[in-house]
């Protein structure tokens, strides 16, 4: 008999699929997306550089919906659930910012990490112009040298969105309609959308303002406004108006590592002050947060021991968080984490195989024909197959052409079979690996709300291809996991939205997103160097990211590189064994599924400073609010989180607007 995870059952009971579906797309609602593209996108870019904050992205969705809901009220019209869902999707899609990577590209090619690793002069022209390009001095993307980069962004974003939408739909049809999987995590996101669906509450005979959705959302919004004033608005305005940023809570975190290193060698300590971490801890499954905290404690004990054993040999007293994480990554965790990821992939595949057998045995009892419900806006499955074929062939063909252009020949000197081998690798990834991993992930999302990835598959295949150079890392590789999109379609179904509404929205929005994204990226780059002292998060974290990425890019140079130093088969094997023992032990002991994945997350070398506030939030939610409110807490907290994001985003958008106005003023010489 299959084990029932009680925590996942809580999520399954939050919402059910409605009996009818409505069209949610309208040309009027498109104005909301234009509003987001014009006002919220530049704010999101700026705050991402300043504090790494993601709240403004969520806020854009809420601001758009609230604005149009108020307009609808004054027109004596209530928005349907489907219209609200499409508005959220529009706002989210408008925040996609396909050209956001251009700022990173111009930084990476000129970074110390790229120069030291020997890859700066080998980066292809479709990634960034050569370092002697005049565009870097002008700080402008509207330069002929950037045309190949812009063209590749347009190509990748178009085919990526097309494949994600269509192939994700095909997997949803298979896992939801045929196999009847429950998708336990989908209601978490759908409940936030339902908070604004006034017609749901109107059915109770109450005014929408009297419903709990509005009260709970307002509480979260007030918290977000208050905290946002101190955490983000004050530094933004002080930096813009006085030239010196005043930070009561350090951004992005307080770093204690140079001090605590005397007692905890090779362990990064600090605290991230963003209150959103506490809210996130309440939203996420409790045992997942407990597992993350346990993993952090294990790392706290293990790192000093590994340092004493000369495994974490590069760390020196006085290193800060960024230096500690990078050195630990090179010495041990790069390979160890690959091993843990291998264990996760093995366990995930075993779970899928087991559930497939169980589902097949119960299929005749649980399935009524396996067809989609009427009125949902479905399309024929052969369209999905044709789309998959076209997208994959396009990726492979363009990649071959780019390599030919970069080397000037199909058989580069010293690497005659390199391009051919890369094309074979892309064919394997596109026609074998991608459909397999997408289906496995779709099933795991449907069963337990988890994603499975076979680690380093792109890296391993490109290294084994024997290609020499770094251009292969920047190709449009047909490698994706479309299974994660099934949760979105489940949310669409739970809100009673026809799928055709989403597809129309995507088609109309795409040109708006492209135009808005490139203009705002160019504007922000023109304000100041990126990164610089004006953007503390980017200044602190981008160099770490550049160093970590250079490890992998250097692996195909055909010479000794930092990759050889970081990759160790023994540590990889140790990680795999540790991961399998961890999963087996917790499974045998009856531990919740989320606890296991949480421990793995806590063991990672991602920034650890957010885990403690998230764990505090989980404790408060579990032992105070959930005891008082019961299952309703699971309905309330996503709405609180949405309100908090909205409040944070609104107050920081105000600061960003003032900053833009201040920096856009042109000083005349007389």
Classify 651 as helix, strand or coil.
Answer: helix
Which of 30-44, 131-145, 324-338, 530-544 is most confident?
131-145
Q: Please, which pLDDT band fits residue 1 given cuts at 50, 70 and 90?
A: very low
Total structural domains in the chain? 1
Q: Is the pLDDT of residue 70 over 70?
A: no
Of the listed ranges 367-371, 486-490, 641-645, the one predicted with least confidence: 367-371
Contact 525, 115 (CB under 8 A): no
In this predicted structure, what is the pLDDT of residue 472?
Answer: 92
Residue, of 424 and 218, whose pLDDT is higher: 424
Q: Which of 133-147, 380-394, 521-535, 650-664 shows the lowest per-residue confidence on average (mean pLDDT)?
A: 650-664
Q: What DSSP letter does each residue of 42-101 carry, written as one string?
A: HHHHHHHHHH---HHHHHHHHHHHHHHHHHHHHTT-PPPHHHHHHHHHHHHHHT--GGGH
Task: Assess if residue 237 is contained within a domain.
Answer: yes
pLDDT value, residue 146: 95
Residue 22 DSSP class: B
b/e map of 61-75 (b: 16 or more CB within 10 Å)? bbbbbbebbeebeee
The pLDDT of residue 199: 44
In a domain, 149, yes or no: yes
**Interatomic CA distance for residues 618 and 275, integer angstroms:** 13
Q: Is 80 exceeded by the pLDDT of residue 501?
A: yes
Task: Please report, rounded to a whole number, the percentage of residues in the chain having pLDDT higher than 90.
Answer: 16
Question: What percentage of the chain carries pLDDT values higher than 70?
Answer: 76
User: HSE on the CB side for 498, CA within 13 Å?
Assistant: 18
SS3 497: strand
- Please check whether residue 108 lies inside any domain of the structure: yes
Contact by Cβ (8 Å): 40, 60: yes
Q: Please write the tens of the pLDDT for every residue from 435-454.
A: 888 887 887 777 656 666 66
Q: CA 335 to CA 341: how far, in whole Å?
A: 10
- Rounded distance, CA 257 to CA 261, Å? 6
- The predicted pLDDT at position 670 comes to 43
Rg (the chain; Cα; Å): 25
Contact 329, 549 (CB under 8 A): no
**Choice between 248 and 457, residue whose per-residue pLDDT is larger:** 248
What pLDDT score does 189 carry? 62
- The winner for highest mean pLDDT among 240-249, 271-280, 605-614 is 271-280
pLDDT band at 365 (very low <50, low <70, confident <90, very high): very low
pLDDT tens for 449-465 read 666 666 667 887 888 88
| Least reliable range by pLDDT among 71-80, 377-386, 577-586, 599-608 | 599-608
| pLDDT at residue 353 greater than cutoff 70 | no
pLDDT score, position 128: 93
Average pLDDT over residues 95-118: 86
Residue 670 in domain: no
Q: Which range (245-249, 253-257, 364-368, 657-661) has the least confidence?
A: 364-368
Range of lowest pLDDT (244-258, 380-394, 531-545, 554-568): 554-568
Please check whether residue 669 lies inside any domain of the structure.
no
Domain containing 86 equals: 6-664
607 pLDDT band, cuts 50/70/90, is low
Write out the H or E segment, with its range, that includes residue 255: strand 254-255
Q: Distance of alpha carbon 526 from its chain centroid, rounded?
A: 27
For residue range 628-649, list pLDDT tens digits in order. Answer: 887 678 778 877 887 887 788 7
Q: What region, left, alpha or beta, does residue 408 occupy, with left being phi > 0 and alpha being psi -120 to 50 degrees?
A: left
Question: What's the pLDDT score for residue 555?
Answer: 82
**Measured between alpha carbons, how far is 114 from 330 in angstroms, rounded to an integer?**
16
Contact 127, 105 (CB under 8 A): yes
Within 8 A by CB and 6+ apart from 578, the residues are: 336, 339, 340, 343
Contact 149, 127 (CB under 8 A): yes
Q: What's the gap between Cα 450 and its chain centre? A: 14
Residue 351 to residue 443: CA distance in whole angstroms: 9
Pull the structure tokens for residue 120. Answer: 């700066």
Q: What is the pLDDT of residues 386-411, one digit of tens each?
A: 999 999 999 999 999 999 999 888 88
565 in a domain, yes or no? yes
As beta bridge partners, residue 270 has 255
Burial class (CB in 10 A: 0-12, 13-18, 19+), 545: middle
Residue 379, CA distances (Å) to 191, 478, 635 in order:
27, 24, 32
* E strand or H helix at 254: strand 254-255
Instruction: Label residue 14 by pLDDT band (50, 70, 90).
Output: low
Per-residue pLDDT, 337: 79
Quote the strand ranges of 270-362, DSSP E: 270-271
Q: CA 25, CA 503: separation in Å to the nearest integer? A: 9
Prior bond of 350 cis (ω within 30°): no
pLDDT of residue 254: 86
The structure's pTM equals 0.72
pLDDT tens-digit series, residues 162-218? 999 999 999 998 888 777 777 766 776 666 566 555 444 444 455 544 557 678 878
The Cβ-side half-sphere exposure at 630, using a 13 Å CA radius, reads 2
């Amino acid at each position: 008999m299959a084990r029932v995870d009680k925590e996942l059952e809580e999520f399954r009971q939050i919402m059910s699929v409605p009996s009818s579906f409505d069209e949610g797309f309208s040309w009027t609602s498109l104005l909301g997306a234009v509003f987001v593209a014009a006002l919220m996108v530049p704010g999101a870019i700026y705050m991402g550089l300043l504090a790494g904050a993601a709240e403004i992205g969520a806020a854009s969705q809420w601001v758009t919906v609230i604005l149009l809901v108020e307009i609808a009220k004054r027109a004596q019209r209530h928005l349907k659930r489907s219209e609200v869902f499409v508005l959220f999707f529009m706002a989210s899609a408008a925040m996609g910012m396909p050209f956001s990577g251009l700022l990173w590209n111009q930084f990476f090619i000129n970074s110390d990490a790229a120069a030291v690793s020997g890859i700066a002069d080998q980066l292809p022209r479709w990634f960034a112009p050569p370092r002697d390009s005049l565009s870097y001095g002008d700080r402008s993307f509207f330069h002929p040298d950037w045309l190949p980069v812009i063209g590749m962004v347009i190509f990748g974003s178009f085919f990526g969105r097309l494949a994600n939408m269509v192939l994700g739909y095909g997997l949803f049809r298979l896992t939801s309609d045929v196999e009847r999987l429950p998708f336990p995590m989908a209601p978490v996101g759908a409940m936030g959308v339902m908070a604004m669906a006034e017609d749901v509450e109107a059915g109770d005979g109450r005014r929408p303002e009297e419903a709990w959705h509005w009260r709970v959302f307002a509480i979260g919004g007030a918290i977000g406004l208050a905290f946002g004033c101190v955490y983000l608005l004050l530094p933004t305005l002080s930096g813009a108006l006085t030239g010196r940023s005043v930070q009561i809570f350090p951004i992005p975190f307080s770093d204690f590592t140079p001090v605590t290193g005397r007692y905890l060698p090779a362990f990064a300590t600090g605290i991230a002050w963003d209150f959103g971490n506490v809210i996130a801890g309440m939203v996420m499954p409790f045992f997942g947060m407990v597992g993350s905290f346990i993993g952090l404690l294990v790392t706290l004990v293990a790192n000093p021991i590994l340092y004493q054993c000369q495994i974490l040999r590069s760390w020196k007293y006085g290193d800060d968080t960024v230096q500690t994480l990078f050195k630990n990554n090179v010495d041990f965790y790069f390979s160890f984490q690959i091993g843990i990821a291998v264990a996760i992939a093995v366990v995930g595949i075993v779970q899928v195989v087991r559930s497939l057998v169980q589902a097949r045995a119960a299929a005749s009892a649980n399935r009524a024909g396996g067809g989609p419900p009427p009125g949902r806006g479905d399309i024929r499955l052969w369209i999905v197959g044709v789309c998959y074929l076209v997208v994959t062939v396009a990726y492979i063909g363009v990649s071959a052409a780019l390599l030919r252009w970069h080397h000037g020949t199909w058989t580069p000197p010293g690497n005659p079979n390199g391009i051919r081998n890369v094309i074979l690798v892309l064919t394997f990834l596109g026609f074998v690996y991608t459909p397999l991993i997408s289906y496995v992930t779709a099933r795991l999302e449907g069963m337990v709300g988890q994603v499975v990835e076979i680690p380093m598959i792109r890296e391993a295949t490109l290294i084994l291809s024997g290609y020499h150079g770094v251009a292969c890392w920047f190709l449009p590789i047909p490698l994706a996991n479309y299974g994660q999109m099934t949760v979105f379609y489940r949310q669409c179904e739970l809100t009673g939205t026809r799928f055709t509404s989403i597809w129309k929205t995507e088609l109309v929005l795409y040109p708006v997103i492209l135009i808005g994204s490139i203009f705002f990226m160019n504007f922000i780059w023109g304000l100041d160097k990126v990164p610089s002292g004006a953007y503390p998060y980017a200044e602190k974290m981008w160099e770490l990211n550049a160093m970590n990425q250079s490890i992998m890019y250097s692996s195909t140079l055909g010479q000794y590189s930092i990759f050889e130093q970081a990759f160790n088969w023994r540590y990889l094997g140790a990680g795999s064994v540790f991961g399998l023992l961890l999963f087996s032990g917790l499974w045998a002991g009856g531990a919740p599924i989320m606890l296991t994945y949480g421990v793995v997350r806590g063991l990672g070398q991602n920034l650890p400073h957010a885990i403690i506030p998230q764990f505090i939030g989980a404790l408060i939610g579990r032992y105070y609010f959930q005891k008082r409110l019961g299952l309703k807490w699971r309905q309330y907290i996503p709405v609180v989180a949405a309100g908090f994001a909205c409040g944070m985003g609104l107050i920081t958008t105000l600061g960003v607007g003032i900053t833009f106005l201040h920096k856009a003023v042109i000083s005349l010489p007389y």
